[in-house]
């Protein structure tokens, strides 16, 4: 698995952001005060130096972190790779707090919160040209004043960047009109989960009474404010049968959304604890999925399959199943040996158990 946290040594005593330069920078690129250049590589690590002082990076080849933007925590002797230069899957985890307790949550909420927005802003400004940066949690909009200001400032300063924000959609209101109006919303997609047309099913999945009603009010409000919405539905046993009903509802009532994503589950966090009662084997029961996709797409709305291994999807729908699992948590299994689809298949989550899940998968020749 690609490491997101690496070991470092530094003389600093406070956290700081730095961009590593393992090779001479392209002369067209601007060198920033946050850059640290590689000076030498020894058996004990790679030595970098910049305006912020020396930093030693341990246990990883300097070529693999060239251009990476790190948040260094000197006391722990670690650095989080906030931006990996060559990756399309950079995400800032802005909080681990959340007001929902979803049955399949891959990142169960914690009470503790540290405001890292100033570091995220610095890191985003150092991101490679044209990057899309993910924002996730926990629930990022629990800190929406900071989030809105962060988006505004970064998007104003970097016209080439865009963001994808994962949110439960519970915390928007009319009072956000002004703050949202200052953000270039054309460069922000909001990924919002909607699990069912039935309020009781949705509320049970997210562990919050009234969440469905609030969500629909806020999706409508956000669209009125000009936000681009990607509705997300994790496919599970409690909502699989109702998927066509949800598709009809989206097609008739929410045609203004940008995208609908039907997603497969991730076997980690609460998702692992509740796997047996939640996992829906779409390799054996694709009919509800296919019918729902057809319905929504026939009304001109984009609909996609996220996190579906291609061999579990009938051939006519495989073009709707892009490789969506982030590079650092993507894995392939023994069955994938020699599969002709491997280069465009997203495979599995690293932690997907070999003995649980799909009844029908295997290499496509």
Would you tell me which residues interact with ligand SF4 (CB under 6 A)?
309-311, 332, 335-336, 339, 341-342, 345, 347, 361-364
Smaller CB separation from ligand SF4, 13 or 315: 315
Q: How far apart, in whole angstroms, are the C-alpha atoms of residue 195 and residue 235? A: 8
Tell me how far apart the alpha carbons of residues 38 and 45 are, in angstroms, rounded to a whole number: 11
Instruction: Quote the least distance from Cβ 87 to ligand SF4, whole Å.
Output: 20
CB of 361 to ligand SF4, least distance (A): 5
Which CB sits closer to ligand SF4, 298 or 319?
319
Spatial contact of 243 and 233, defined as CB atoms under 8 Å apart: yes
Phi/psi for 357 (5° steps) reads: 115, -125
Strand ranges across the sheet with 188-193: 91-93, 132-136, 162-166, 188-193, 228-234, 259-263, 302-306
Task: Please count the residues of the chain.
Answer: 365
Closer residue to ligand SF4, CB minimum distance, 109 or 347? 347
Helices and strands (DSSP H and E) totals, the chain: 10, 16
- 59: alpha, beta or left? (left if phi > 0; alpha if psi -120 to 50): left
Residues 79 and 5 sit within 8 Å (Cβ to Cβ): yes
**Contacts (Cβ under 8 Å, ≥6 apart) of 193:** 102, 168, 169, 206, 231, 232, 233, 234
The end-to-end CA distance of the chain, in Å, is: 27
Q: Both tokens of residue 358?
A: 């799909």
Q: How far is the CB of 328 from ligand SF4 (least distance, A)?
A: 18
CB of 208 to ligand SF4, least distance (A): 34
Query: Which CB atom, from 26 or from 337, has the smaller least distance to ligand SF4?
Result: 337
User: Of the two residues 45 and 309, which places its CB atom closer to ligand SF4 in the complex?
Assistant: 309
Map residue 128 onto helix, strand or coil. coil
Q: How far is the CB of 239 from ligand SF4 (least distance, A)?
A: 24
Report in angstroms how near the CB of residue 333 gets to ligand SF4 at its nearest: 7
Rounded least distance, CB 84 to ligand SF4, Å: 23
257 or 336, CB closer to ligand SF4? Answer: 336
Nearer to ligand SF4, 43 or 359 (CB): 359
């Amino acid at each position: 698995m690609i490491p997101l946290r690496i070991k470092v040594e530094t003389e600093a005593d406070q956290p700081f952001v730095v961009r590593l330069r393992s090779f001479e920078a392209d002369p067209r690129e601007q060198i920033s005060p946050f850059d640290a250049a590689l000076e030498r590589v020894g058996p004990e690590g790679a030595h970098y130096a910049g305006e912020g002082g020396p930093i030693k990076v341990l246990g990883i080849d300097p070529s693999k972190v060239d251009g990476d933007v790190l948040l260094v925590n000197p006391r722990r002797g670690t650095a989080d790779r906030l931006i990996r230069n060559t990756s399309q899957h950079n995400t800032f985890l802005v909080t681990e707090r959340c007001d929902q307790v979803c049955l399949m949550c891959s990142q169960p909420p914690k009470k503790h919160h540290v405001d890292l927005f100033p570091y995220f802003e610095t890191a985003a400004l150092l991101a490679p040209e044209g990057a899309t940066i993910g924002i996730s949690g926990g629930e990022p909009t629990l800190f929406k004043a900071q989030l809105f200001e962060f988006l505004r400032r970064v998007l104003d300063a970097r016209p080439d960047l865009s963001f994808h924000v994962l949110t439960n959609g519970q915390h928007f209101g009319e009072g956000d009109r002004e703050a949202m109006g200052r953000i270039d919303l054309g460069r922000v997609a909001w990924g919002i989960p909607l699990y069912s047309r039935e309020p009781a099913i949705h509320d049970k999945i997210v562990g919050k009474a009234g969440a469905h009603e609030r969500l629909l009010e806020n999706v409508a409000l956000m669209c009125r404010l000009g936000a681009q919405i990607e509705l997300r539905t994790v496919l599970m046993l409690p909502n699989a049968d109702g998927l066509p009903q949800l598709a009809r509802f989206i097609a008739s009532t929410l045609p203004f959304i940008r995208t609908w994503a039907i997603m497969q589950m991730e076997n980690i966090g609460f998702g692992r604890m509740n796997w047996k009662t939640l996992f829906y084997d779409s390799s054996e029961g694709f009919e509800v999925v296919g019918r729902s996709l057809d319905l929504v797409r026939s009304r001109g709305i984009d609909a996609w399959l996220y996190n579906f291994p291609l061999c579990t999807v009938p051939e006519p729908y495989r073009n709707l199943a892009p490789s969506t699992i982030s590079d650092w948590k993507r894995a392939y299994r023994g069955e994938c040996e020699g599969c002709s689809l491997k280069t465009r298949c997203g495979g599995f989550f690293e932690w997907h158990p070999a003995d649980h899940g799909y009844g029908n998968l295997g290499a496509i020749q």
